[in-house]
Structure 1
Amino acid sequence: MSLRFRQLQAFHAIVEIGTVTGAAEQLGISQPGISNLLAQLERQTRLKLFERSKGRLVPTPEAGVLYQEVDTVVRGLDHVGQAVLDLQNKQAGQLQVASPHALSFGLMPKLIARFAQERPDMSISFQSQYSTKIQEWVMSGLFEIGVCEMPLTYDAFDARIIHVETLLAIPQDSPLARHDVLTPQLLENEPFIVMGPDHLTHRRTREAFSNAGVAWRTRVHTHLFKNVLSFVQEGMGVGIIDPFSLNFDFEGGFVTRPFQPTVLMDFAVITSKARPLSALGKQFHETLLAELQTYAASARG
């Protein structure tokens, strides 16, 4: 089967934007052109890729699977195009970094901005994603440096592991705030806002309650620490949260306490074994490691 890149690019744009009009504007081609490319792709693959709903194109399950494969290809060519522009404009280099969402709302933008102050001609490519996708991006060369949660899925990285201690966030007016340290016994049947059951913090918190012989009540399941904290701020329960999300939230409405036994998160700063880092990448890699080390459990005593 010979699929053309333009067909995949049109499909990718429609999934991301949701309308043919928006996809056409993004790619700079006509709406009929986009529709024709999509029709060609569906005909060649013999798959129905979209359903129409209230003026939008809703991807079918088959489209969702295809998108996961196409996403890396399309973004990869975008990076190639950006690299060509950088060379044409004699840019000083491109910083290519990816991190999980927990680091993307405060720490990484501030760190990159500080790093860029003395490098005004540096171009920056930064994305936040789930850790498995970040590993794929670094392995394929789309990004030089990645920060991800353990475990590592591939044996393709040079990795520096950093263990970070989480804290328990509780509503500001909660009676639990009178305690200096909170334990499973003190939190029996207290409603918890939690990450999904596959997340490391979920498993380790569940284990702590099980070992203590105490009932653990989970009320809300979500997929971002920022969401966990938002529910805590609304008074819906308590939540185990990473220090990055806590340090860069300025809305208030919560307090934190250590949780015992300690629930650690294991992060890795990864680079590809197959490709040496650029000079710019090496400099940022050192800066990033030094910053993350201040959050390490050992550094916090």
Structure 2
Amino acid sequence: MSAPFRQFQAFHAIIEHGTVTAAAEHLGISQPAISNLLSQLERNTKLKLFERTRGRLVPTPEAHVLFDEIDTVVRGLDHVNQAVVDLQNQTAGQLQIATSHALAFGFMPAEIAKFSAGRPNLTIAFQSQYSSKIQEWVTAGLFEIGICEMPVRMEGLEQHPFTIETSCAIPRFADVAEHERLNPMLLNDFPFIIMGADHMVTRRTREAFHTDGANFRIRGHTDLFHNALNLVKQGLGAAMIDPFTLAADGGGEYLVRRFEPAIYLDIVLITARGRPLSIIGQQFLDQVVPRLKQIAVNTDGQ
């Protein structure tokens, strides 16, 4: 015996919804079509599945046993069908994105929340990590989209670069707080919290001090802009901080000042070359790239 799935689906709908009328409405077919499918199933199985009592179909004990056996299968296919509809309507799928820590505290969660509105079945894979690891993940296909710091050292990655200006955060009661703009001479011998000796922001700040003949005094170093800002709050020194970290912070015992000459942070959005983006991934890029352009001071295209 082999019964087509549509017959099982009609049988399942009748029991679940109680009447042929309701089952037909659920499946989007006519009542005669439902009745015909049920008759075919009874012939194929050689089982009496319903008693006709006062114009209603009452399931037999055999029908209940059969229903229990096919319930998971039918619901599973319904779930698959709904997933197809959701994908067609672009309300489902998975957003896979990895970012540097700076973007993870406020900017990216806000962008993900905005993107998820109206997509109730969207699942999200979101991680923050160091730039080299993000490049490895995107290359390996573990994440579809990555945002990290330059340089890009992995082969086979499409690159969308953005140049971001940092600002100087200083303790609220620092002697230089009266100045609206800071420069190396004003901060001569002022203690700094840096992002490691080889970080691009540290190198560029050091070069600016050296050019002006000022002493770049390093008091401490850390691996995250967020950590550096917290040390500034404690009055331990100044730090060059990216706008994403500043925007995500609640404020506190520090002030933010423009620094001259400008110290830039180069970031890049990466995707795997030769691997087509999902519809969801492309739509997220269409949202987030313009937002990054608004923040960036200079952009080399998408």
Q: TM-score, normalised by structure 2?
A: 0.68
User: Are the equivalent residues in 1 in contact too, given 2:162–2:298 (CA < 8 A)?
Assistant: no
Shift in Å, 1:251: 3.7
Amino acid at match of 1:229: L
Q: In the TM superposition, what are the counterparts of 1:1-301 in structure 2 within 5 Å?
A: 90=83, 92-298=92-298
Residues 279 and 179 of structure 1, relative CA distance in 2, 3 Å threshold: same
Equivalence for 2:67 = none
Shift in Å, 1:155: 2.9
Shift in Å, 1:252: 1.7
User: Are the equivalent residues in 1 in contact too, given 2:95–2:124 (CA < 8 A)?
Assistant: yes
Provide the C-alpha distance between the structure 1 equivalents of 2:97 and 2:80, rounded to a whole number of angstroms: 19
Provide the C-alpha distance between the structure 1 equivalents of 2:290 and 2:280, rounded to a whole number of angstroms: 16
Amino acid at match of 2:107: L
Shift in Å, 1:154: 1.8
Shift in Å, 1:293: 1.1
Residues 237 and 148 of structure 1, relative CA distance in 2, 3 Å threshold: same
RMSD value, Cα: 1.7
Provide the C-alpha distance between the structure 2 equivalents of 1:121 and 1:161, rounded to a whole number of angstroms: 31
Higher-Rg structure is 2
| 1:125 counterpart SS class | strand
Provide the C-alpha distance between the structure 2 equivalents of 1:93 and 1:163, rounded to a whole number of angstroms: 31
Amino acid at match of 1:248: A
| 1:122 counterpart SS class | strand
1:155-185 per-residue CA deviation (whole Å, 9 max, x = no partner) reads 3111111000000001112221211211100
How many pairs are equivalent? 214
Amino acid at match of 1:294: Q
Provide the C-alpha distance between the structure 2 equivalents of 1:199 and 1:107, rounded to a whole number of angstroms: 22
Segments of 5+ residues of structure 2 without an aligned counterpart are 1-78, 87-91
Segments of 5+ residues of structure 1 without an aligned counterpart are 1-85
Shift in Å, 1:89: 8.3
Shift in Å, 1:129: 0.1
Q: TM-score, normalised by structure 1?
A: 0.69
Equivalence for 1:37 = none
Amino acid at match of 1:259: F
Equivalence for 1:9 = none
Shift in Å, 1:110: 0.9
Residues 195 and 153 of structure 1, relative CA distance in 2, 3 Å threshold: same
Identity %: 47
Residues 125 and 154 of structure 1, relative CA distance in 2, 3 Å threshold: same
1:252-289 per-residue CA deviation (whole Å, 9 max, x = no partner) reads 21111111111101110111102010000000011111
